[in-house]
Amino acid sequence: MEKVCILGLGYIGLPTASLLAAKGFSVHGVDKNPKVVDAVNKSYPHIHEPGLSNLLESAVHSGNLMASLEPVHADIFIITVPSLITDEHLPDIAHIKEAIHAIAPYLTPGCLIIIETTVPVGTTEKIAGWLSQLRNDLIIPSMTSTVPKAGKEKQVFLAHCPERVSPGRTLIELVENSRVIGGIDQLSGQKAHMFYKRFVCGELFITNARTAELTKLAENSFRDVNIAFANELSLICANLGINVWELVKLANSHPRVSILDPGPGVGGHCLPKDSWFIKHAAPELSKIIHTARKINDCIPNEIIVQIKCKAACFQEPVIACLGLTYKSNTDDLRESPAIKIVKQLLDEKVGKILIIEPHINALPKTLAKHDRIKLVDLQEGLTQANLVVLLVAHDTFKNIGKNILKEKVVVDTRGMWL
């Protein structure tokens, strides 16, 4: 049984660890958060993901998955810790560096290290450099030189294979998506290919590490740019008195047009960050990517203006905000534009705020400290509010009766009820 050690048991690492355990690998999960380690060992999924609960339970009960704070010796190491950007929008790969330092003492000749985290271009080569310094008894391949024959038995393998799943469909997409495998050298790419072939039924494309790094960044900024186009159209439409949702529907009836949905901004852990990685790598050349990022960043402010304008109709506005997460049908609040909007409304003391978010049990700390906000259920929120703001298109909001909404002033940022 091959041993896999996965560092970072979050939205990506935990489903991956559970799936690999179910496929017969012996999996050792590592997280630096003791609460996560404890939850995993008790087969409690600390994140919401369809199908994960059952898979995790059988993985732990089979004995194929256990977690701890420290890595162990393994045949394959997978890094799924976060990459971040600083407040100045610069790449921050400190978590990855920490994870590489943690695994270094456990590497043995022939083992394979896979970086699944989205990273700035050049990171895999940087990792090879760190490993060469940490373990000068091993041969770490590089992109520019081949490993001499004499060093082959001391060689480890290194590849970047960016994760592409969409939360909410993670367990399906881990198996079905195509994957891009960027080896630091040819042999590393082939080794990683052999590993993914054992559980992925999508196509597996081998390339070099730098290309794989930029491929993932390009995928995410492609979406960011296209959402910015839709968001810019929504601003133009508002200015011209045109319904943007009708416009998008009509334009998309053209066989070669596929405009994305406008919304209240772009959130999540990936999209807002990855465009900055490209901008940082090629500041003078990434003009569209940078402009799109700035447009998406300013959209929450535009929505706040709309809400304040509608709230001004009431002496005592009671605003029901439907949804807080960064996208529909998830519990993930990271970088959510809905949170930015609600926080600004609280800071500016715009009415009383009722939050309806069926995927969370408590408000995030940044909001909970205010006294004019309450987490309520849908019925209470709709009964008490005079202004209803749809921020996230959760399925549960689809069936709100038109007769109920008719009695309210509505701001629908998702076009769900229009």
Q: What is the DSSP string of 50-106?
A: TTHHHHHHHHHHTTSEEEESS----SEEEE----EE-TTS-EE-HHHHHHHHHHGGG
In the complex with ligand NAD, the residue whose CB is nearer, 155 or 329, is: 329
Determine contact, residues 111/141, Cβ cutoff 8 Å. no
Give the range of 9-17, 57-65, 229-237, 245-253 binding ligand NAD by CB under 6 A.
9-17
Q: Catalytic residue at 216?
A: yes
By CB under 6 A, residue 165 contacts ligand NAD: yes
Work out how close the CB of 97 gets to ligand NAD at its nearest, in angstroms, rounded to a whole number. 8
Interface residues for ligand NAD in 95-154 (CB under 6 A)? 95, 98-99, 102, 117-118
Which residues in the 257-286 window bind ligand NAD by CB under 6 A?
269-270
Q: Are 272 and 266 a contacting pair, CB within 8 Å?
A: yes
256, two tokens = 């070669």
Sign of the Cα torsion 248, 250, 251, 255 reads positive
How many residues belong to the chain? 418
Tokens standing for residue 151:
């060093």
Q: What does 356-405 look like in DSSP terms, one character per residue?
A: E-TT-SS--HHHHTSSSEEE--HHHHHHH-SEEEE-S--GGGTT--HHHH
DSSP string, 240-251: HT--HHHHHHHH
Q: What's the min distance (Å) between Cβ of 48 and ligand NAD?
A: 11
Active site residue 111: no
Of 5 and 307, the one with the shorter C-beta distance to ligand NAD is: 5
Nearer residue to ligand NAD within complex by CB, 168 or 358 = 168
Binding of ligand NAD by 80 (CB under 6 A): yes
Residue with CB nearest ligand NAD? 10
- Contact between 177 and ligand NAD by CB under 6 A: the answer reads no
Stretch near ligand NAD under the rule CB under 6 A, chosen from 125-133, 163-171, 256-264, 289-297: 163-171
- Active site positions, annotated: 216, 270
Which residues bind to ligand NAD, rule: CB under 6 A?
A: 7-13, 30-33, 36, 80-83, 95, 98-99, 102, 117-118, 163, 165, 167, 269-270
